[in-house]
Structures are given as C-alpha cells and as structure tokens.
Chains A and B, each alone.
Chain A
Amino acid sequence: MAPKGMIVIDRNLCKECHLCIQACKQGNIRPGKEFNQKGYRPVESAEGGKCTGCALCGIMCPEVAIEVYRD
C-alpha cells in the first residue's frame, strides 16, 4: 500500500534535537549523517516510509523544519 503521508524536512533549519524521532510512532524519521551549513546533522525521512501524515513530528519540531503532506 502506498503511504498516505509524506514529510519534507528543511535541512538548513533542522538542529538535530531528535524530538521528531521521538514523536513519530511509525519510526519514519531517522538520524542523519551529513552536516548542514550550521554544523547540525539534519534528520532524514526513512525510504519506503510508512508515513501516515499524522503531523506529530511537525507539531513537535521547534524549528518548523518539517512540512507534512497527506492524501
């Protein structure tokens, strides 16, 4: 089944606090390895994700670095 939702992470806004990883019940967000301009490693959306578009990650993100899309 195709995922119902999708997130877009702004790599330059993310500060690697990982509150979104805690918030996502689908395990759809994982720590990143690449650094951004500010020296943080922005989180990544897992491939083949099971995102439901619940927006819990966005609600928790202090930097408004996550946009959530849903069918």
Chain B
Amino acid sequence: MKKIFGRPRSLKPTPTHYCPGCGHSIVHRLVAEVIDEMDMRGTSIGVPPAGCAVLAYFYFDIDMIEAPHGRGPALATGVKRVLPNHLVFSYQGDGDLAAIGTAESFHAANRGENITIIFINNAVYGMTGGQMAPTTILGQKTTTSPPGRTPLLDGYPVQMSEILAQLRGAAYIERCTVNSPPAVMKTKRAIRKAFQYQMDKRGFSMVEVLSPCPTNWKMSAVDACKWIDEVMTKEFPLGVLKDIGAKEAGKEKKS
C-alpha cells in the first residue's frame, strides 16, 4: 500500500502543546501542506502571535519571527517589504487581531499590504484562561463574562472579516472553519488561494478560521465542533467576503 496521507514536510514531528481537539493544530497542518504544495518551504516566513500559538515556531519547519501581541501585521509588513518575493504570513488569534492589534490589522489591510493573515477566531482569549474577546458571542459565558456576554455591558461581537473587506486594499478575505473534514479541506483551499494572491502581488489577504477551543468553551472536542455549526456560524457566517479576482472576472459571489 502507498502512503497517501501523513505529516507535511513543513511541519516538524514535534508534539504540540495544544489541547486535544484544538483548531490551531489543524490550521498549522493546513498552512504547512500549502507551503509544501507551493514548494516554498525555503522562502516562507511566518509571524506567530502572543496567544496559544505563541510557540508556532517550534512546529513549523520554516523561518519565523515572533511578533509582540497584536503587532503581527506591522512586523510582517516590514519583512515583506524587505523580501518581496517571500511568502509572508502573520498568524493571529482574535484577541490579538481584533483587540490589541486592531490598528495594525486595519491599516495593513487598508494599505493593501501584500501579506496574508491567518486569523484564528475561537471567540475567547485562549492562552490567558478564556476571558471574553471582542469576538465572544452574545450570551457566551467566559471567565470575564460569567453571566454571558451582554451588549449593554460588553458591546457586540466584532466581525473583523466584514470590516476589513470594506477596505479597498483588501484583495481576498474568506471566513472558514475546521469542524469537519469538508470544512478543513475548504479552509485549505482558502489558504492556498490567499497565498497565491500574495505571490501574484494582488494585495492584502486574510483567511479567518472559526476554530474550536474545547478547553475554554468547556466542552468535548466533538461538542466544540457542533457548537461552531449551531452557534458560532450564526454570528460569523462562512463565506467569501472579498475577492478582487472574482470581481475582475465579473462574477463576485457570496458562497
């Protein structure tokens, strides 16, 4: 028999520190698979965040430069401008991208900076113990919203993909998830497309991934996958928010 599925070359055989069923590890593998397929292991530079993915540089077998909390897009901007032919991506959680790093993300998108953001939306601050994030769903219980998030006290969940898609510099933005095998494959195609847009110098791209955090959601991994379908996608609908390629071809579609 032939091996048809295994570890991508760009992902080291190191056991991860992620909790069982964590979406971060699935997305790591997808990014590594795409880098392998594009044959860019030697010419890719990743920018990990503060957050649960802080140790991503232990796992990817590519060059990585750690960013201070939220500053990934600024750091990636510098790297990309110095090495314009490299694939440069920042990898960020929702606390990182939608709270402390809002300005950096917004302006990188607005500048049409030719980088890709892999945006892991797990609706909480994972690493620090499950506090409320800007993306926390209304009614969701977290350690800092014990009765559930209420608009009066805590405002509304921020839909970063919708917001950044408004900016003219954004070339491609899609929201995906990794809660089933077809969803995982779709996310991989989105990452591939975002990276390809970057290599074609089309501007800013972002793939948002609704990502299970069973530990802080206080659910089994299997239930966390169900919660994404039943609750999270209602607040954060899946689909392509921006695609200048489709627009150029005269067939912008919402899937």
- Residues on A lying within 8 angstroms of B by beta carbon are 5-6, 12-13, 15-19, 22-23, 38, 40, 53, 55-56, 58-60, 62-64, 66-71
Contacts of B221 in A (CB 8 A): 17-19
Minimum Cβ distance to chain A for residue B225 (Å): 7
Contacts of A23 in B (CB 8 A): 180-181
A58 CB contact (under 8 Å) in B5, B19, B21: B5
What's the count of A-B pairs with C-beta under 8 Å? Answer: 78
Q: Contact: A55 with B1, CB < 8 Å?
A: no
Q: Contact: A62 with B184, CB < 8 Å?
A: no
Cα(A16)–Cα(B3), bound, Å: 23
Q: Contact: A64 with B4, CB < 8 Å?
A: no
The yes or no answer to B250 lying at the interface (CB within 8 A) is no
Residue among B16, B181, B184, B221 with most chain A CB within 10 A? B181
Cα(A69)–Cα(B2), bound, Å: 5
Q: Contact: B29 with A19, CB < 8 Å?
A: no
The yes or no answer to B22 lying at the interface (CB within 8 A) is yes
The yes or no answer to B15 lying at the interface (CB within 8 A) is yes
B15 CB contact (under 8 Å) in A17, A18, A63: A63
Q: Contact: B29 with A64, CB < 8 Å?
A: yes
The closest CB in chain A to the CB of B16 belongs to A63
